[in-house]
Amino acid sequence: MLFNSLQYLVFLPTVFLLFWLVPHRLRVPLLLVASYVFYMSWRPIYGLLIFGLTLGNFLLVPLIAKAQETKQKKIWLGVVVAANLITLGIFKYAYFGMGCVKSGLNLFGVDWHEPHLHIILPLGISFFVFEFIHYAVEVYRGKPLVAKFMDFALFASFFPTQIAGPIKRYMDFIPQLDIPAKFKWEYIDEGMQLILVGLCKKVLVADNLALVVQAGFSHPEKFGSLDLWLITYAFAFQIFFDFAGYTDIARGSALLFGYKVPINFNLPYLAANVADFWHRWHISLSTWLRDYLFIPLGGSRGGKWLTNRNLFITMALGGLWHGAASHYLAWGVYQGVVLILHREYVELLKRVGVYEKLVASKLYHVFSVVCTFHIVCVGWVFFRAETETSAMQIITKLLQAPVDLLHFTTSQLSILQIRDPIIFPSVILIVPVLMISQVVVNWLSDKKIYKNPPWAIQVGMMVAMMCLLTIFSPDTSPRFIYFQF
């Protein structure tokens, strides 16, 4: 069931009404049933998978808490984490692994025909497996167990965040379930506002940019360097608006029931460096990677080389988490390398003694934001390209842009030639507007009129969004990009 589908338009209000009509003690079971209906509407059999993992974790994690000795605790933690990762590995990485083995054997002249396992990647598996691991590690670290199975099952399957996060923390989520909240109109207002904004991000921006991105990344040879820069920018905004839109809808849907789930984005394209970018982009994943991968690996406690190694491993595995394909790994490696380079650059500036001065300079800040955006965009090429060869072909062309800019004429822009669909030439106008919109939102973010606008503005905005969504919702909208992860 997609958030931008008629099914959800029926499903959400039904669950919402039932939730506030039934007594408090029935709300968790109701949401649990609704969440399983939501999940099983796609492929009923996979309801068993999420249930099995939930039950397994619920039964195994208390063994970590009960173990008296640290060694025993570690063993049980290892068992739980391994069980979760093996499940993820089978469903998500089996084909990739076999492909790698096959390529390896080919190098030695062995022609191995890998078996076809008929595995279909269960939606959201990467997200709920990470939530289970987080639970196990936190219990290992001394945090309390979840007492009720229903609460734990809902934590893993809560339908607004089930398919593409945000990755929740049980210490934030579970206590909310027991509070006998009373219905408040604010839940509807704020929840629906978030849902409408999220749908607009997805339907009006991301889905329209998808066409240009698809054309550019599947046929880079048809476009010049400047076109490809525009297409890369377009993808940067497509993936941001797609995922941020999904997160807004998820947060809005949760808020309708009075529950809060964490934010995932904080104007990431205004980040002044790549480390800052990861504090603003997919926050629930980056903090998960920090807490459950980077820190257990040793974090930044072991000196420069170990810190860099840990960063590299964390980002490479983070890349692979996005998908079982080498271009995702390449993207993760790229992120790891640029993070290491950034650390070295900061060290260098500090050694030279100009760091404080530069950071305080507004001009340098603007320059840093522009540079970071472009570094991130180059990374997106690895992420979106179908193969590394294609990514390298695009990046080679992107590097030719300065030369092409020297003798720029509009005839260099192939996207200006394409008038149907009209989104192609429009990208030249849309991309700057989207960039400026980030700056404007940042400027407005601490203004009273933005944080608490007058009701007339709120109503006007909601009516406008409803009209735009009913007019511009396409007959067939592509799935959310992060569904595949």
Residues near other proteins (CB under 8 A) are 5-7, 10, 142-144, 146-147, 171, 174-176, 178-179, 181, 185, 188-189, 192-193, 211, 214-215, 219, 222, 409-411, 413-414, 416-422, 425-426, 428-429, 455, 458-459, 462-463, 466-467, 470-473
Minimum CB separation from other proteins for residue 395, in Å? 21
In degrees, rounded to 5, the angle at the alpha carbon of residue 461 between the alpha carbons of residues 4 and 483 is 20
CB neighbour burial string for 2-23, b if at least 16 within 10 angstroms, e if fewer: bbbeeebeebbeebbeebbeee
Nearest distance, CB of residue 358 and other proteins, angstroms: 38
- Which residue in 241, 217, 239 sits closest to 227, CA to CA? 217
Nearer to other proteins, 111 or 420 (CB): 420
Cα–Cα separations (whole angstroms), residue 139 to 61, 83, 410, 464: 7, 16, 60, 47
Farthest-apart Cα atoms in the chain, separation: 73
Query: Residue 317 and residue 324: Cα distance in Å, rounded?
Result: 11
Which residue's CB is nearer to other proteins, number 111 or number 221?
221
User: Which residue, 206, 191, 290, is CA-closest to 244?
Assistant: 206
Closest separation in Å from C-beta 414 to other proteins: 7
83 versus 174: smaller Cβ distance to other proteins: 174
Judged by CB, which is closer to other proteins: 145, or 349? 145
User: Do the Cβ atoms of 151 and 67 come closer than 8 Å?
Assistant: no
Q: What minimum distance in Å lies between the beta carbon of 144 and other proteins?
A: 5
Could you give the angle at which helices 46-66 and 125-140 cross, rounded to 10 degrees? 10
Shorter beta-carbon distance to other proteins: residue 97 or 425:
425
406 vs 452, beta carbon nearer other proteins: 452
Rounded Cα gap, residues 227 and 398, in angstroms: 9
Phi, psi (degrees; rounded to nearest 5) at 318: -60, -40
Please tell me which residue in 134, 282, 322, 342 is annotated as part of the active site. 322
Query: Is there a catalytic annotation at residue 407?
Result: no
Q: Do the beta carbons of residue 334 and residue 382 sit within 8 Å? A: yes
158 SS3 class: coil
Spatial distance between the Cα atoms of 262 and 172, rounded to a whole number of angstroms: 9
Smallest separation (angstroms) from other proteins to the CB of 166: 19
Q: Hey, which residues are catalytic here? A: 322
